[in-house]
């Protein structure tokens, strides 16, 4: 079974010489680079960057001293972002040159949220997509500017190599990566790998973070449990957030996982068979799969199989709790929101950390109320997102912990 033939349409996006434009052996080596960049020790350093980016861009100018703490706002969650990556500019590391790019409606990351006035209507789903991009890009590129990806990446790579500067981010991992024959990755390959990493998690994580919020607001008992979990964590660790602290948040993890079970953004996973083989169904029916045929599986269908998930259409995060663990009922492939097997998503731990980091900040600093009808899937999108508006009221507050 192979991914290459069915996903070659991504080659123009990622560029030549990477992922689906190379043979299996080279692709496996490049996936090894991803694996190294997503090891636990790397994820630990990424969390600080995720949290910092979330705090900066959610808080912005609305700190305690502004007099806005406790002010009530109304805003909608509307997925509209597509080209933020082409229009955001951020200062580089002090040791490196600042990269300035001219583009329409140029936006600076540090100024982005200043557009929120004292009251008004903003688009939460749009903002969450920005936060996903910003937290991802900070881990991919540290504090460097990012826009017009191919040009910017090449400039940053050259700058790092010339200065000898080393950063704790995915870009540095790709720069330092070597193939088994000792060859260093090229600038073109590093750029392609970064773009692949960014696009693999951009829409999927933003969609899942929004569905997580929608379900938490619809089912207030789980919102209350998630807030109570934050209080318990804060009793042990104060306001600190790091990799290990996020790992303690089982309630939030299950809420995210259940939202993803019900609404996997990728509803069809494709492979091409490289040999003839047969498949026997649970009912005992046998199907012959000829060599060269395309095989598909649907997480949207598999995640609602009633013999695996009880009341499969219900939002029930506790189905993943110890003692139930419905995601293991039928073995390793019971839950396939991140795929599975040798081609499973390498970014799964990163995605959970990213969404946890953002929602940890939101749960600790805001009260929410869902005021619009519960959203529906947008089946017209290739990556299935949310259709229509998700209106919520929010009120700033600091989570109080009684010691």
Q: What is the DSSP letter of 184?
A: B
The alpha-helical segments, DSSP class H, found in 263-328 are 299-302
Cα pseudo-dihedral 376, 265, 279, 310, rounded to 10: -50
Enclosing H/E stretch for 243? helix 243-247
Contact 291, 2 (CB under 8 A): no
Measured in whole angstroms, how far is the alpha carbon of residue 385 from the centre of its chain? Answer: 13
Q: Is 345 annotated as a binding residue?
A: yes
Helix (H, G, I), strand (E, B) or coil at 372: coil
Helix (H, G, I), strand (E, B) or coil at 387: strand
Q: What six digits make up the tokens of 105? A: 């409606």
Quick one: which of 391, 351, 360 has its CA closest to 43? 351
The alpha-helical segments, DSSP class H, found in 113-178 are 124-141, 149-163, 170-176
Q: What's phi and psi for 291, nearest 5 deg? A: -60, 140
**Site of tokens 């960049």:** 37
Helix (H, G, I), strand (E, B) or coil at 269: strand
**Site of tokens 């209080």:** 231
3-state helix, strand, coil in the chain (%, to 5): 50, 10, 40
Q: What six digits make up the tokens of 290? A: 């000829």
Helix (H, G, I), strand (E, B) or coil at 74: strand
Contact 175, 157 (CB under 8 A): yes
Cα dihedral sign, 312-313-314-315: positive
Give Cβ neighbours of residue 308 (< 8 Å, ≥ 6 apart): 326, 329, 330, 334
Give the E-state strand segments of 32-106 in sequence order: 72-77, 88-89
- Calpha distance 272→270 (Å, rounded): 7
- Calpha distance 344→120 (Å, rounded): 42
Q: Which amino acids are annotated as binding site, given as ranges?
A: 345
Q: Which amino acids are annotated as binding site for heme, given as ranges?
A: 345
């Amino acid at each position: 079974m192979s991914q290459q033939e069915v996903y070659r349409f991504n080659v123009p996006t990622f560029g030549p010489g990477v992922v689906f434009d190379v043979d299996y052996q080279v692709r496996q080596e490049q996936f090894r680079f991803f694996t190294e960049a997503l090891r636990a020790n790397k994820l630990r350093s990424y969390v600080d960057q995720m949290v910092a980016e979330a705090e900066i861009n959610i808080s912005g100018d609305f700190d305690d001293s502004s007099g806005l703490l406790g002010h009530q706002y109304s805003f909608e969650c509307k997925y509209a972002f597509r080209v933020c990556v082409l229009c955001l500019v951020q200062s580089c590391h002090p040791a490196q040159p600042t990269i300035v790019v001219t583009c329409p409606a140029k936006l600076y990351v540090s100024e982005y949220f200043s557009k929120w006035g004292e009251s008004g209507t903003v688009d939460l789903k749009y903002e969450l997509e920005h936060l996903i991009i910003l937290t991802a890009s900070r881990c991919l590129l540290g504090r460097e500017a990012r826009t017009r990806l191919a040009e910017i990446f090449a400039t940053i790579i050259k700058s790092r190599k010339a200065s000898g500067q080393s950063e704790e981010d995915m870009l540095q991992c790709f720069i330092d990566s070597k193939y088994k024959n000792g060859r260093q990755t090229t600038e073109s390959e590093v750029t392609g790998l970064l773009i692949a990493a960014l696009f693999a998690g951009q829409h999927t994580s933003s969609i899942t973070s929004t569905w997580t919020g929608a379900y938490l607001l619809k089912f207030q008992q789980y919102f209350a449990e998630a807030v109570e979990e934050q209080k318990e964590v804060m009793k042990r660790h104060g306001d600190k957030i790091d990799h290990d602290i996020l790992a303690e948040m089982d309630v939030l993890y299950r809420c995210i996982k259940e939202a993803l079970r019900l609404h996997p953004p990728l509803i069809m996973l494709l492979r091409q068979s490289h040999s003839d083989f047969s498949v026997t169904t649970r009912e005992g029916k046998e199907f012959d799969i000829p060599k060269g045929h395309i095989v598909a599986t649907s997480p949207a269908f598999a995640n609602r199989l009633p013999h695996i998930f009880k009341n499969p259409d219900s939002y029930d995060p506790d189905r993943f709790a110890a003692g139930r663990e419905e995601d293991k009922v039928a073995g390793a492939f019971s839950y396939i929101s991140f795929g599975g097997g040798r081609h499973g998503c390498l970014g799964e731990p990163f995605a959970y950390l990213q969404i946890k980091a953002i929602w940890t900040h939101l749960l600790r600093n805001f009260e929410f109320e869902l005021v619009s009808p519960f959203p529906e899937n947008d089946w017209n999108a290739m990556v299935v997102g949310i259709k229509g508006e998700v209106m919520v009221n929010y009120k700033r507050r600091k989570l109080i912990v009684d010691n």
